[in-house]
Structure 1
Amino acid sequence: MGDSRLIQGRYRLHEVIGRGGMGEVWRATDEALGRRVAVKCLKPLGPQQDPHVRDVVRERFRREARVAAALQHRGITVVHDFGEYEGVLFLVMELLEGRNLSQLLAANAQSPLPVQDLVEITDQVADALAYTHGQGIVHRDLKPANIMRLRDGTVKICDFGIARLGADMGFTSKLTGTGIAMGTPHYMSPEQIGGGEIDHRSDLYSLGCVLYELATGVPPFDLGDSWAILIGHRDTVPSPPRAHRAELPDYFDRLVVDLLAKVPEERPADAGDLRRRIVSGRAGPSPFAPLPGVPAQPPLPPTRPVPVDLPPGPAAPAPAWARGMTGGHRPAAAADGPRPLAHDPAAAVLTTEWTTPAPATCFPATPSTPFTSAAPPAELVAVLAGRYRAGMGLGRLGRWDEAEAVHRSVAEDRSRVLGPDHPDTLASHYEVGFALARLDRPADALHVFDRVARARARVLGEDHPDTLAARQERAYALGRLGRHPEAYELYVEVLAARERAVGPDHPDTLRCRHNLAFTLASLGRLEESYRTAHEVAEARARLLGPAHPDTLATRQEVAHVLGRLGRGEEALVQYRAVAEARAAALGADHPETLAARYETGVFLGRLGQAADALDVCRDLVAARTRAQGADGPETLRARHALAVNLGRLGRWEEALAESREVHALRERVLGADHPDTLLSRRETAVALGRLDRWEEARETHRAVAAARTRLLGPAHPDTVAALEDEAHCLERLGRPADAAALLLGAATPPRGAASA
């Protein structure tokens, strides 16, 4: 890139922090946004390279970089930008503060990882792989050097979608007489070695190799040359990890052995299956250690750990769990950069490992001020972090009552140990609020987010991402409480701050704009809502891809607003497209797919296509019954729509039977006064009227009106609608005077009556 250290007029390169077979990594600053980044510059494609190959590589790089940039998961390194400058292809990524696992193994040569940390890393990597494989992407070069353990405990996989570029750029070798493109020999699957079909199970094998090394200190085939290593992968069953380390849990030993199966079909089916086995294994008897002076907690189900942002120490020492590890023989030593295996010239091109010459200073610590007069015991902080992670896991399992209780307990303990304004304490309070929101307790959630937002603004600053996250959740709670004008004002403020901090196209900015579009619709500002949602959908499609879940969520919001604008045909087109894309990406029975299909059925019915709507509803009922059971709320919602469309087709006896059954189930599951229960009761009354059973219809409408008057007030639109339904029945029964008196009473409610 010549002498210039500014590329694309935007990225200022400061120093090289890593070199590998494919190029080098620079610490840099994005001068447009004022944020620190890492810039990976791939080796130049020189003039000696075939022009056709250069074109292929450039196109492949752009395609793979675009895929990598679309991945949005806490366990995957974020790619911000990519391009070409003076013949050099480059990637702009988040700057990670930590070490890769290869560096940790090389720097700690006494013993492998403690079991707890080993399992936590496994869980996080499996979670990231499950997400990425779900996007149809296979890493193909998973190894310790491509897995980062950050200072806060987060584990991130690097180089997703990019590792395979080595084959196009000439950084691979071929075994004698086989014509097999190579990767990193210590972690290659048998199908990679044999030139077979590669799918997600190849990554699982590579993960098994990584876990074997982390658990025992040596790779499964710790041999003297690359050929012997490759033959070992292909033909030899490694000894179980417990043969090297007896204290490893049996379930973990079995897991690694299964991951290292020679035949893909004998490995875990996918990373999700791997995670389930980890959760099941960790659910055994392994209670948290009691804390001195802190009430002991009951054993909790294990889950993927969620990082806690502990303030770094001034010397940035290696984490306690990494001290004294044995590294064994690896294809490259962290302290010396990429290094071939002994007596093996091919090994230099069998790895694209990224290393740094001085791991301890690669990512300098940010100085911090202690939050307490004396530093708390490291063991105490670690146990609190473990309980925090357990609470996060309960939330991921949908067990929000338990999650809220755990987070509240941890928040109290952290407040005593670290101080009420410590970032970890506030993180626990934030999770309490998040759980309360999921428990449909928006008023309680709002109170918590108020406190967290104020404290984070004081401690971290008004525009800190954590402060903005709390303020955005506060806006969401306001919306749930029907306080849409306040929610709107807060979303506008958060959006402006996010645009200043990370730009208009950052995922967090687009998420805020998505919420703003929803709030505009709640305020009745439908045209503004439509424009905002449409712009967000286009931006997400451009940045993340048209089938990304966030893109589809916004397209569904576009469809919703179109429906409210009376543009039903356009709404139907959007809902159908979203349903088809979700079915392809997530599966036909995924809840988000079924939500879009439900709306498709609704609009088919509204547009007079009741027969098609009925078919959609029948399929939905079957799918919801499989997923939730016959009395699940979403199952009953689909059955209610089924009854409505039966009525639209004039099949009133069937509609009446369906409505009555749904009403009885909703009354039992949701309660007699739940809005959905009353809706089914009204649908029963409509069917009775259509069958000329007007007296029964009147009594049913009357019961609905009485319940709504009691719950909503006499002037609420839903109450008035129920009274009008009752009046219609009176007219059909030949009692027009009674009907008129009822409507007059509805128009002039008694003084002092409650209203909603």
Structure 2
Amino acid sequence: MADTTRLIQSRYRLLDMIGRGGMGEVWRARDESLGRQVAVKCLKPMGPQHDQAFTRILRERFRREARVAAALQHRGVTVVHDFGESDGVLYLVMELLEGRNLSQLLEDNKQHPLPVADVVDIAEQVADALGYTHQQGIVHRDLKPANIMRLDDGAVKICDFGIARLGHDIGFTSRLTGTGIAMGTPHYMSPEQISGGEVDHRSDLYSLGCVLYEIATGVPPFDMDDAWAVLVGHRDTVPEPPRTHRAELPRFFDEVVLDLLAKTPGERPADAGDLRRRITLGRTGGQPEIGRVRLAPPVPVQHPGGRAYRLPSWTRNMTAGHTAGGAAGPGTAAIDQATALTGAWTTANGPAPGNSLPPGGTGRPTPPPELLATLASRHSAGLNLGRLGHWEEAGDVHRAVASEREHALGADHPDTLASRYEVGFTLSRTGRAEDALREFGRVAEGRARTLGPDHPETLAARQETAYVLGQLGRHFEAHQVYAAVLASRERSMGPDHPDTLRCRHNLAFNLSRLGRLEDSYRMAREVADARGRLLGTTHPDTLVTLYEVAYTLGRLDRWTEALQTYREVAQGRAATLGADHPDTLSARYEVGISLGRLGRSAEAMELYRALVADRTRAGGPDHPETLRARHGLGVNLGRMARWEEALDEAREVCAIRERTLGPDHPDTLVSRREVAVGLGWLGRWAEALTDYRTVAEIREQVLGADHPDTLASRNDEAHCLEQLGRSTEAVDLYRRVADLRRQRAMPPH
């Protein structure tokens, strides 16, 4: 960037790079206006791999979080002077700090712990800064040694407030419909971050405990190379007291760190202010509150009912990352990732206790780490293609990786099945539901054999089979699978686990498709309430379920409640995802539908006009969602008896849909029918008959003569014949439709 943008906004001259990280680069710069040196953090530019809507959301979130960071005024928090965008690069201007971060200090000290007095002083200063930021309602989310600076004068400052939160949002936005991505570095993540639970200020306190443990002993609480093992340690194991590593540490410090590392937030100090007071009392020789001294050796934490709370599936792709003392294990990051994915299956001693070798795996030679690293990298590339909507390309990548993994590791190896799972996912997203069903069935059977029938990965595959059954219209079979998976999830994970709630959401959706609307509404309402309580009322998962609540209310003709709920969803999504996010725009569309159903067509028409403008800006005039909004506009013009305008709108939309989607596409046929409706209201029944008949014939050819949509179109055609005075033809057609409906309703012999 220095070669092409030496001067940012005609003010900040970049001098030399002083750091590089996952979010971008940090430059020493000169503020030409004020004649002072500053630090400029340049976030990685959003290239063509991100769609325009994503980039707009990122920019808006960056501005919002930069304002949050700039509003923080405390001696222990890095001062933010300015922020903006230059040539597509988002930048943040901060005070230039002269000193070293804690990770660098440990490296300088050859991975030996810092002096005790320095450790206690750092703990007190960081607690003071966190106490201030938490009072402002700000949670850092990624506290680690690299984000804490020790200045040359001894002052301590926390860096990257706002930017850490932005990184969380970028990760979360990348796959809203997936399992979610937790922000954080494995060695410093709280148990609630790992489990996908609600994160508040006490998560920062846990991360601080990890940092203090490391600078006091030279190693993090769970010092393992395998990311999976690190995460399991955070979740299940009480760490050894720091004094077992270093006897000279004060007893009060030992107690404070162990309290910070409590597994549940409620067991940790109430807030950072309380923590700072305890450290100050301990340092000055006062009498701190009696802590919970836990000097027993590490033991597994017992979970309710003796069930192990399993890590979410996204953690299988994590690397151990870097501790303050250096890289986690030998080799490249890619090889570390491969180890995390396959270590339990490729060790010289065989599988971990309790696991069985996959069929045909006995005696299988250990694949070279380089091959595993390459396959893990290609697997990640396939996931990224899917996140960007390139499902065909993603499917090709996953099929190739699955074949090579099967050859190298065996058909039932977890990594092979992970690739097979993604193959099924891409098939379901490209309209090949039958193929996806077979693929997910294979994965579910393989995981049941190797991981067990109640393992989260097995249940995930079975849940996808239910989803695909729903795609195929086999809703009764889908209901049976969803119900069985839900029972397993509730038994093994508990009723409020995110995966359990996701299954209940899907079951509610399927109940609606089975026509069990009251049952669907009750279940969706319960899930929305549970998600709101656990995740927050504006969390995307909560809003997805509220959307389903609103949909079911509409089908129950409770349109006033549906309108209120859709508006709640639209407002929540605008606040969380941004006004131009596709999900926000979809909720606004449904608000328009509800207004129309309530006879408030003038309001609906104005809403659709605005929505058409927003959709055109976001996706272009020919985008299917732009045309969908235009269709809604035309319908409401008709409801207001503005039939000439309605007909013009319907014809334009029909022509574009026919050109872009094809003449047989369901959306094109809906528009053609709307053209016929407009012609009929204008008394042009002969022209209307041509369009009604075209729609009926295409639907009969594509869907079959007795399909409900075909029968509805034939009814339209008969009505049109009646208006033209051709009563005999109309009666014959009405009778034919009635006969087909009776035959369809008759039970099979």
3-state SS of paired residue (1:182): helix
| Partner residue of 1:183 out of 116, 126, 149 | 126
Q: Does structure 2 retain, via aligned residues, the 8 Å contact 1:408–1:432?
A: yes
Distance 1:542 1:274 in 2: 23
Post-superposition CA distance 1:452-475 (Å, at most 9, x none):
011111111111111111000000
Which residue, out of 460, 468, 477, partners 2:468? 477
Q: Unaligned stretches of 5+ in structure 2?
A: 1-21, 23-57, 79-100, 104-117, 175-180, 187-213, 221-240, 263-293, 302-342, 345-351
Q: Secondary structure at the match of 1:547?
A: coil
Q: Summarize deviations over 1:235-266 as a string: whole Å, max 9, x none.
A: xxxxxxxxxxxxxxxxxxxxxxxx88xxx99x
Residues 544, 196 of structure 1: alpha-carbon distance in 2 compared, 3 angstrom cutoff: closer
Cα offset, 1:735, TM superposition = 2.2
Which residue in 1 is equivalent to 2:167? 271
Is 1:306–1:392's contact at 8 Å kept on the other side of the alignment? no
Cα offset, 1:357, TM superposition: 11
- Distance change >3 Å, CA 193–CA 555, structure 1 → 2: closer
Deviation, 1:747, is 3.8
CA distance in 1, matches of 2:382, 2:544: 27
> Percent identity over the alignment?
50
Q: CA deviation at 1:692?
A: 1.4
Shift of the alpha carbon at 1:421? 0.7
**Cα deviations across residues 560-596 of structure 1 (Å, max 9, x unaligned)?**
1111112222212211222222222222222222221
Q: What's 1:607 paired with?
A: 598
User: Deviations along 1:628-672, whole A, 9 cap, x unmatched?
Assistant: 111111111111111100100111111111111111111112111
Partner residue of 1:618?
A: 609
Aligned to 1:496: 487
Instruction: Name the aligned partner's letter for residue 459 of structure 1.
Output: T
1:526 positional shift = 1.3
The whole-number CA distance in structure 2 between the counterparts of 1:330 and 1:306 is 19
Residue pair 1:526, 1:564 contacting (<8 A) in 2 also: yes
2:730 is aligned, of 726, 736, 739, to: 739
1:274-293 correspondence to structure 2 within 5 Å: none
SS in 1 for 2:532: helix
Structure 1 stretch displaced more, 537-546 or 559-568: 537-546
1:488 Cα offset (Å): 0.6
Deviation at 1:194, TM superposition (A): 11
Q: Secondary structure at the match of 1:228?
A: coil
Equivalent residue number for residue 228 of structure 1: 154
Q: Is this contact kept in 2: 1:547–1:581, CA < 8 A?
A: yes
8 Å Cα contact 2:141-2:164 kept in structure 1: no
Going from structure 1 to structure 2, the CA distance change for 1:633 and 1:360 (only over 3 Å counts) comes to: farther
In structure 2, distance between residues paired with 1:704 and 1:434: 33
1:331-370 to 2 correspondences below 5 Å: 333-334=218-219, 337=242, 366-367=352-353, 368-370=355-357
C-alpha distance in structure 1 between counterparts of 2:133 and 2:740, whole Å? 80
- 1:370 and 1:658 map into 2 onto residues whose CA distance is 64
Q: TM-score, normalised by structure 2?
A: 0.58
For residues 360-390 of structure 1, what are the alpha-carbon distances to aligned partners after superposition, in whole Å with 9 as ceiling and x for unaligned? Answer: 9999985345553222222222221111111
CA distance in 1, matches of 2:637, 2:493: 51
Shift of 1:728: 2.0
Contact 2:547 2:565 in 1 (8 A): yes
**Equivalent position of 1:679 in the other structure:** 670
Cα distance between partner residues in 2 of 1:455 and 1:195 = 48
Deviates more, 1:645-654 or 1:558-567: 558-567
| SS across alignment from 1:462 | coil
The structure 1 residue matched to 2:434, chosen from 422, 443, 460, is: 443
Structure 2 distance, partners of 1:380, 1:624, is 45
User: Which residue pairs with 2:509 in the alignment?
Assistant: 518
CA distance, structure 2, for counterparts of residue 737 and residue 499 of structure 1:
61
Contact conserved, 1:184 with 1:350, CA < 8 A, in 2? Answer: no
Give the match for residue 210 of structure 1: 146
Matched, 1:591 2:517: no
CA distance in 2, matches of 1:650, 1:751: 36
Query: Does the CA contact (< 8 Å) of 2:672 and 2:691 recur in 1?
Result: yes
Name the counterpart of 2:445.
454
- Farther-moved stretch of structure 1 (600-609 vs 436-445): 436-445
- Aligned equivalents of 1:554, 1:634: Cα separation in 2: 21
1:119-158 matches, cutoff 5 A: none
d(CA) in 1 for partners of 2:478, 2:623: 31
1:650 match: secondary structure: coil
Q: Distance in 1 between matches of 2:170 and 2:577?
A: 19
Matches within 5 A, 1:323-338: 330=215, 333-334=218-219, 337=242
Moved more, 195-204 or 430-439: 195-204
Distance 1:529 1:196 in 2: 40
The answer to whether residue 561 in structure 2 is matched with residue 635 in structure 1 is no
Deviation at 1:451, TM superposition (A): 0.4
Q: Which of structures 1 and 2 has the larger relative contact order (alpha carbons within 8 angstroms, sep 6+)?
A: 1
* 1:14-29 superposed matches below 5 A: none
What is aligned with 1:726?
717
| Whole-Å separation in 2 of the counterparts to 1:307 and 1:544 | 21
Match of 1:574 in 2: 565
Q: 1:350/1:537 Cα in 2 relative to 1: closer, same or farther (>3 Å)?
A: closer
Distance 1:195 1:742 in 2: 73
How far off is 1:395 after superposition?
1.6
Deviations 1:308-367 (A, max 9, x none): 9xxxxxxxxxxxxxxxxxxxx956522783899x99999999999869999999999853
**Which letter does structure 2 place at the counterpart of 1:271?**
G
Cα distance in structure 2, aligned partners of 1:345 and 1:616:
65
The answer on whether the counterparts of 1:547 and 1:582 sit within 8 Å (CA) in structure 2 is yes
Post-superposition Cα deviations, 1:271-290, rounded to whole Å, max 9, x if no partner, equal 389889x9xxxxxxxxxxxx
How many angstroms does 1:682 deviate by? 0.3
Amino acid at match of 1:228: G
Asked if the contact 1:331/1:351 (under 8 Å) is kept, the reply is no
2:441 maps to a residue whose letter is D
- Tell me how far apart the structure 2 counterparts of residues 383 and 513 of structure 1 sit (CA, whole Å): 37
- Return the alpha-carbon distance in structure 2 between the equivalents of residues 268 and 464 of structure 1: 32
- Could you say if the C-alpha distance between residues 474 and 196 of structure 1 is closer, same or farther in structure 2, counting changes exceeding 3 Å? closer
- TM-score normalised by structure 1 residue count: 0.58
Shift of 1:538: 2.0
The residue aligned with 2:679 is 688
One-letter amino acid of the structure 2 residue matched with residue 333 of structure 1? G
1:302-451 equivalences in 2 (<5 Å)? 330=215, 333-334=218-219, 337=242, 366-367=352-353, 368-371=355-358, 372=361, 373=363, 374-451=365-442
Amino acid of the structure 1 residue aligned with 2:721: L
- Letter paired with 2:386: G
Superposed CA deviations along residues 47-69 of structure 1, whole A, max 9, x for unmatched, are xxxxxxxxxxxxxxxxxxxxxxx
Q: 2: distance between equivalents of 1:203 and 1:496? A: 33
Give the structure 1 partner of residue 43 of structure 2.
Answer: none
- 1:186-229 CA deviation, whole Å, 9 max, x = no partner? xx8xxx8999997989778x77x728xxxxxxx97686xxx435
CA deviation vs aligned residue, 1:368-421 (integer Å, no higher than 9, x gap): 455532222222222211111111122222221121111111110000000111
Q: Which amino acid aligns with 1:479?
A: G
Q: Which amino acid aligns with 2:716?
A: D
Contact 2:609-2:633 within 8 A present in 1 as well: yes
Between the two proteins, the alignment pairs up a number of residues equal to 505
Residue matched to 1:661? 652
Task: Provide the C-alpha distance between the structure 2 equivalents of 1:618 and 1:432, rounded to a whole number of angstroms.
Answer: 40
Q: Is the 8 A contact 2:102 2:149 kept in 1?
A: no
CA contact (8 A) 1:478 1:487 kept: yes
Amino acid at match of 1:469: A
8 Å contact from structure 2 (residues 577, 584) kept in 1? yes
Summarize the Cα distance change of 1:587–1:193 in structure 2 as closer, same or farther, 3 Å threshold.
Answer: same
Query: Could you say which residue in structure 2 is the equivalent of 1:153?
Result: none
Are residue 554 (structure 1) and residue 548 (structure 2) matched? no
